Amino acid sequence: MRSMEELVREEVALPSAPGEDEHPALALANSAVALPGGHTADLLGTPAQAEQWLTRRDLAPEGTGLAEVCTTQLRSLREQVRSLLASRVAGQPALPAAIAAINDAMTRVPTAPLLLWDQKTGPYRATPHPTTAIVEHALAVIAADAADLLTSPDAARLTACASPPCNRFLLKHGRRQWCSTRCGDRARAARAYARRTATE
Ligand SMILES: [Zn+2]
């Protein structure tokens, strides 16, 4: 029996699903992977993991010092993006709250350093809380990408991995409906097993 830690490490090593490299929103949606046996490997499980996830995608510099509250914001955006992708794949109307969350993340980003006034040295401009600014910028980039993905021609290729219990989304190339060879192998094995038990 593999430990949870081993399972998480394995998922980190799982290759990106098709489309993730071009779309950070797709990568975010796929950052909590459902594994056989009812486990979930969350790549944003801790602030340190979330920071690594952001720096790997050039969405934050090394040493940002992500706090738990920032990590929660990222996980919350993930739920909204997943909800929108699922609606698009199912051809269903989106939840208004999910649309609002994307628009909010896109527009909340500060556009300019604020004007501050030091009692001795006088006026100056600065970003009051650099970590917050970095995180809000990352959230805005991901939200804008989600909006692009949903409205671009790529949206027609968006699909959910067809190998239960996998919950990843991908951009289809040809007939392939799996996010990875591992999921494809599992789906084929499950089909072969179903055929065997049906003929017995
Ligand atoms: Zn999959």
Segment 32-46, tens digit of pLDDT: 998 888 888 999 999
Residue in the structure block whose two tokens are 């949206």? 155
Rounded to the nearest angstrom, the distance between the alpha carbon of 108 and the centre of ligand 1 is 33
Which CATH number applies to 4-156: 1.10.3300, 1.20.120, 1.10.10, 3.30.70?
1.10.3300
Range 175-194 average pLDDT: 89
pLDDT digit string, tens, across residues 86-136: 999 999 999 999 999 999 999 987 667 789 899 999 999 987 678 888 999
Rounded to the nearest angstrom, the distance between the alpha carbon of 36 and the centre of ligand 1 is 11
Rounded to the nearest angstrom, the distance between the alpha carbon of 133 and the centre of ligand 1 is 34
38: left (phi over 0), alpha (psi -120 to 50) or beta: left
Rounded to the nearest angstrom, the distance between the alpha carbon of 123 and the centre of ligand 1 is 54
**Domains of the chain, residue spans:** 4-156
Give the C-alpha distances (Å, rounded to integers) separating 19 from 37, 93, 154.
26, 23, 9
pLDDT at 13 exceeding the cut of 80: no
Percent of the chain with pLDDT over 70: 92
Round to whole Å and give the CA distance between 122 and 179: 56
Rounded to the nearest angstrom, the distance between the alpha carbon of 12 and the centre of ligand 1 is 13
Per the model's pLDDT, the better-predicted residue between 6 and 68 turns out to be 68
Rounded to the nearest angstrom, the distance between the alpha carbon of 124 and the centre of ligand 1 is 51
In the prediction, which pLDDT does 12 show? 53
Q: What angle do CA 47, 51, 57 make, to 5 degrees?
A: 150
Q: Are 163 and 180 in contact (CB under 8 A)?
A: no
In the prediction, which pLDDT does 4 show? 56
What pTM did the predictor assign?
0.84
Task: Give me 14's structure tokens.
Answer: 């799982």
